Structure 1
C-alpha cells in the first residue's frame, strides 16, 4: 500500500480479489455514466473476466485508488505481442464523474505507465508502445492521454442495425453449406477465425490459454453461430451472441453480430453477407430489436461496405491512442 501524500489523502493499493468486485463495478458504471457510454458491469461480470485473463495478473497489474477508505478509481494493465514483434502495453482506467478534476486520473495514469515500464524491462526484446482504446464520449480520458504524449493511431467504428426483420436474403455461395455447431467443431472454428485475421492490422497470435478461456466466455454461444463449411474446412463464420445481463441493465434488446471472418480463398463471393443476414434474422426471431458490431475504420477487406449492405450504420467512432515506450534497463 502507498499513501501518495498527506495533502491528497489518496491511497493506492493492490487488487484484493473477489471482495473488490462490487465497488469496482460501481466505479466503472459511474465512469460510464459520466461519459455517456452505454455499458454496464456487474460483480459477476468482473469475476468471470478476471478469472479468464491470460496476459494479466490482476494482483500485480491492477491498482485500486482509495480516499477515506472509499474506492474512487481503479485501473488495470496487460500486454500482448503482435505477429510483427511489437509489444503493446494496454490499459483501462475508471474515475467516476464526481471524483474528476482532483488529479486522480493523473495519479492513476502515472501508476499504469510505471507498471508498463516495469513489465517491459522484464521482456525487453523488440519495440514496445503504450496502448489505450478510448470510446467516443471518454473526452476526459482522451485529454489526459494527449497531455501525456499519446496520439491517435487508428479509429474503430461501432455500427448498429435497428431493422433486423428487414435483413436482406443474400444467398449462400455455391458449394458451401451451413451446419449446426457441434463440440468437435470448436477447435476448427477457432483456428479458422484466427487464420483469417492474420493479415488484419494489430492482430496478435492467440495463446493456448486463450482457447480455454474462450470456451468459458460469455460470448461462447455456439447455438447462435452461423458457420459455413466447404467440405471439412471452415470457409467463414459469424459468432452471434446476446449479453442478457447488459440488456437487462440497459433496458434494451440488443444482440451482437460479431467475430465475422472469411478465409482468404472464399472471399469476394458474398459469403460474409449471407452469414450476417442469417445472424440478423436469428436475432430477430429471438426478440432482439437491434444488432451491433465493431469494425476497423481502415479495414482493407471491404468489411465496412459489407456491413452497410446488411443494414448497419456507424453510430460511434472509437480511438486507439499510442505513444512509444522506451524500455528501461534493469
Structure 2
C-alpha cells in the first residue's frame, strides 16, 4: 500500500520557505535555453531543529535542459559546510565553529577555490562570535588537503589511527 502523498502546496511551502530572505543575485543561479528556464540551482541558509546552522543547495533541470551540458554548467564547483554547534560549545566551554565537507571538483582545482572557501568560512565563524574553528582531515589525502588547511592556519592537535581487518566469511 502506498503512503499518502503530501499536497504539492505543503512541499512548496517547505521547499521555498527559505526564500523569505532570498537575494536572487546571491542565492539563485538560472540556466536559460532558447529563452526558457532550463534549470536552476538555489542555495539558502537554514537552521536545523538542533540549532545547527547550515547553507544548503538544491538544483533542478527541466526536460528541455537535459543532455545539453547545462547541468554540468550549473554544477557546483566547490562547497564547504560551516556550522556552529551551540549545545556542544556550551557543554565544552568553548566558542568553536566547524569547517567541513570542503571539496572542489577536479576540473576546478589548483585555482585557490578551497582556500577562498575556507577563509570565507573562518570569517563567518568569527562574525558569529567563535574564537576557534575545527575540521577533520585524512593527513594522507593525495590531493594535498592538509597543505591547504595548514596554509589557512590550521594545526594538527589530535591524530587518530584506524585499524582494518578483513572479514573472512565461510
**Which category of TM-score, normalised to the shorter sequence, fits these structures?**
0.5 to 0.7
Q: Does 1:288 align with 2:130?
A: yes
**For structure 1, which runs of at least 5 residues remain unmatched after alignment?**
1-177, 187-214
Q: Does 1:240 align with 2:87?
A: no
In 2: Cα distance, 1:238 partner to 1:278 partner: 9
Higher relative contact order (CA 8 A, sep 6+): 1
Out of 14, 21, 27, the residue aligned to residue 180 of structure 1 is: 27
Match of 1:249 in 2: 91
- 8 Å CA contact 1:239–1:257 kept in 2: the answer is yes
In 2: Cα distance, 1:304 partner to 1:235 partner: 20
Deviations 1:200-238 (A, max 9, x none): xxxxxxxxxxxxxxx888756117x9xxxx952201011
Out of 222, 226, 230, the residue aligned to residue 55 of structure 2 is: 222
Match of 1:309 in 2: 151
| Shift in alpha-carbon separation, 1:260–1:235, aligned structure 2, 3 A | same
In 2: Cα distance, 1:304 partner to 1:322 partner: 23
Q: 3-state DSSP class of the match of 1:222?
A: strand
**Displacement of 1:181 after TM fit?**
7.5
- 8 Å CA contact 1:238–1:257 kept in 2: the answer is yes
Deviations 1:65-100 (A, max 9, x none): xxxxxxxxxxxxxxxxxxxxxxxxxxxxxxxxxxxx
Match of 2:63 in 1: none
Deviations 1:38-80 (A, max 9, x none): xxxxxxxxxxxxxxxxxxxxxxxxxxxxxxxxxxxxxxxxxxx
**CA-atom RMSD in angstroms:** 3.0
Match of 2:35 in 1: none
Computing the radius of gyration from Cα coordinates, the structure with the larger value is 1
Match of 1:297 in 2: 139
| Shift in alpha-carbon separation, 1:251–1:220, aligned structure 2, 3 A | closer
Runs of 4+ in 1 over 6 A off after TM superposition: 215-218
- 8 Å CA contact 1:181–1:222 kept in 2: the answer is no
Q: 3-state DSSP class of the match of 1:247?
A: helix
Match of 1:279 in 2: 121
In 1: Cα distance, 2:143 partner to 2:75 partner: 21
In 2: Cα distance, 1:257 partner to 1:181 partner: 23
Alignment of 1:34-113 (within 5 A): none
Q: Structure 2 length as normaliser, TM-score?
A: 0.61
| Shift in alpha-carbon separation, 1:219–1:260, aligned structure 2, 3 A | farther
In 2: Cα distance, 1:287 partner to 1:219 partner: 15
| Shift in alpha-carbon separation, 1:322–1:255, aligned structure 2, 3 A | same
| Shift in alpha-carbon separation, 1:250–1:259, aligned structure 2, 3 A | same
